[in-house]
A and B are shown apart, each in its own frame.
Chain A
């Protein structure tokens, strides 16, 4: 026997929420149908996946392959370092131009438009265009990631500069300082720590992306990976994936240390 209800239900049923969850499920079924995702395909794939995994294991770290992997990885590192350095160098002035508190609004909107344009396209698409423009190889990858860096770091720089306290700026201006001095003495000290943080974050992200631009001809470990994949050398693919994950884990440890230094 249920006791008579003496107090209101603490957790009443939310019918709107339930209807929304139901709609979500219906959408999933509908979308799966559009994409021709069926259970039978999934089961066949599982079979296929077992053979695939069997061919991947054990990872092939043979001396010849290891040489290729190391070369590809070093090229990926080069791409990541150069694109981050060049990208940040270009993003500094661009971010400054896009800061609404320091720049007149037409300049600002122009710079913001450029930043938005850089952010719109995925690095892979940008690298396809650069591969056409400057040919296969690491340079196309570097240029593509410079564009990605400009879009991301430029936006963050602009936002960081917009958040600074204007008191210092006014104080330095009141001394009759030139615009360059205002920047160096009043703006840079306030944003430097955050800039270093953005730089490290972007280096991390460029390192991840540099493993991918090779798939479309932009150089680095991605090219090695794609070749191994196309030759069905799945054990080499696994070896490369392990190296990529290890490198990124290592870099994450290093970047936490760097962040601590700049706290």
Chain B
């Protein structure tokens, strides 16, 4: 900011050291990131396909959409409730299944338990693959295998969650203190006892918070799985939208909204009571 001349002269023969916030390498790195971001945005704006004709009547279409949603078609309510119950069970069962599947992978991925780089990397690739494939895409695959229904939805939720649960569990296991483990090893405890009496008590709090957090996410996700035929309230939404019964769709959306608000209240109260 100020010119070098204004600095007080240092001792003779020594270079004056000036404070700068970033090293030159940092500055170059940052500029490169900013440049890449700007290029990416300009490229996207220039090449993305947008049909302008569709945009002109967007406000009118939106108003029309909301006008058609009100009043709700309450005759549709029994189907919505059935779907809702299915969705909640799908989310819960899917979460439980994902934990069962994720624990062994997390143990393989934790570097302090499995001392083999090859196994660690395999586990990490499994976790990343699970997270990269979206729940809707998982659902597509399982619908192709098991046919439409909640079974496909439950498996989609479970496989999608493995990556999330496994990654966080592996991190929690890696952060465990060594003391209790060494004490148990010195006492001659078998490996399983070391896991249950040494690691589990240390990992337990983060285990429950991860499980709860994932359940919260899964309730949201399982509500849309029905769009590809994987059961739950999404089936009712899909049917309503395909038939252009927006008053039914509005009812479904309002129900989903209410359920999500309710789960958020439940999870935050459990979190504040048990985990903290």
Task: Give residues in A with beta carbon < 8 Å to B.
Answer: 11, 24, 27-28, 31-32, 34-37, 41-42, 45, 48-49, 52, 74-75, 77-79, 81-82, 85, 120-122, 124-125, 128-129, 132-135, 137-139, 142, 208-209, 211-212, 215-216, 219, 222, 225-226, 229, 234, 237, 241, 244-245, 248-249, 252, 258, 261-262
The B237-276 residues at the A interface (CB cut-off 8 A) are 237, 241, 253, 256-257, 260-261
Closest 3 CB pairs of A and B: A135-B54, A35-B150, A261-B29
Closest-by-CB residue of B relative to A38 is B151
| CB–CB A124/B227 < 8 A | yes
Is B90 interfacial (CB-CB < 8 Å)? yes
| CB–CB A75/B26 < 8 A | no
| CB–CB A31/B51 < 8 A | no
A11 to chain B, nearest CB (A): 6
| CB–CB B134/A45 < 8 A | no
Can you give 18 contacting A-B residue pairs, CB < 8 Å?
A: A31-B93, A35-B86, A41-B146, A42-B151, A48-B144, A52-B144, A75-B48, A75-B49, A124-B136, A133-B58, A135-B51, A208-B134, A222-B137, A245-B129, A248-B132, A249-B128, A249-B132, A261-B32
Is B197 interfacial (CB-CB < 8 Å)? yes
Closest-by-CB residue of B relative to A142 is B48
Task: Give residues in B with beta carbon < 8 Å to A.
Answer: 26, 29-30, 32-33, 37, 40-41, 43-45, 47-51, 54-55, 58, 61-62, 65, 85-86, 89-90, 92-93, 96, 128-129, 131-134, 136-137, 140-141, 144-147, 149-151, 154, 197, 220-221, 223-224, 227-228, 231, 237, 241, 253, 256-257, 260-261
- Cβ-defined partner of B89 (8 Å) among A34, A79, A249: A34
- Give every chain B residue within 8 A of A28 (Cβ-Cβ): 93, 96
- Cβ-defined partner of B137 (8 Å) among A27, A75, A225: A225
| CB–CB B96/A138 < 8 A | no
- Give every chain A residue within 8 A of B220 (Cβ-Cβ): 122
- Cβ-defined partner of A82 (8 Å) among B44, B144, B149, B241: B44
- Give every chain A residue within 8 A of B224 (Cβ-Cβ): 122, 124-125
- Give every chain B residue within 8 A of A128 (Cβ-Cβ): 227, 241
| CB–CB A137/B44 < 8 A | no
| CB–CB A215/B132 < 8 A | no
- Give every chain B residue within 8 A of A248 (Cβ-Cβ): 128, 131-132
Please measure, in the bound complex, the distance between the C-alpha atom of A8 and the C-alpha atom of B85, giving whole angstroms.
Answer: 47
- Give every chain B residue within 8 A of A222 (Cβ-Cβ): 136-137
| CB–CB B128/A245 < 8 A | yes
Q: A45-B151, A129-B65 known; 14 other A-B pairs, CB under 8 Å?
A: A34-B86, A35-B154, A75-B49, A79-B48, A122-B224, A137-B54, A139-B54, A209-B134, A215-B136, A225-B140, A237-B140, A244-B132, A245-B133, A261-B30
- Give every chain B residue within 8 A of A226 (Cβ-Cβ): 140
- Give every chain B residue within 8 A of A81 (Cβ-Cβ): 40-41, 43-44
- Give every chain A residue within 8 A of B65 (Cβ-Cβ): 129, 132-133
Known contacts A81-B40, A245-B132; A31/B92 CB under 8 A: yes
Closest-by-CB residue of B relative to A245 is B132
Closest-by-CB residue of A relative to B97 is A28
A12 to chain B, nearest CB (A): 12
- Cβ-defined partner of A77 (8 Å) among B37, B44, B45: B44
| CB–CB B257/A121 < 8 A | yes
Please measure, in the bound complex, the distance between the C-alpha atom of A85 and the C-alpha atom of B48, giving whole angstroms.
Answer: 14
Known contacts A121-B256, A245-B132; A41/B151 CB under 8 A: yes
Please measure, in the bound complex, the distance between the C-alpha atom of A42 and the C-alpha atom of B149, giving whole angstroms.
Answer: 12
- Give every chain B residue within 8 A of A48 (Cβ-Cβ): 144-147
- Cβ-defined partner of A215 (8 Å) among B30, B145, B228: B228
B226 to chain A, nearest CB (A): 11
Closest-by-CB residue of A relative to B249 is A128
Known contacts A138-B48, A241-B137; A24/B62 CB under 8 A: no
B136 to chain A, nearest CB (A): 5
B246 to chain A, nearest CB (A): 9
Known contacts A133-B61, A133-B62; A211/B134 CB under 8 A: yes
Known contacts A77-B44, A85-B41; A35/B133 CB under 8 A: no
Known contacts A77-B44, A249-B128; A261/B256 CB under 8 A: no
- Give every chain A residue within 8 A of B85 (Cβ-Cβ): 34
B64 to chain A, nearest CB (A): 9
| CB–CB B261/A120 < 8 A | yes
| CB–CB B44/A78 < 8 A | yes
A208 to chain B, nearest CB (A): 6
| CB–CB A35/B90 < 8 A | yes
| CB–CB B49/A125 < 8 A | no
Please measure, in the bound complex, the distance between the C-alpha atom of A133 and the C-alpha atom of B85, giving whole angstroms.
Answer: 30
- Give every chain A residue within 8 A of B61 (Cβ-Cβ): 132-134
| CB–CB B136/A229 < 8 A | no
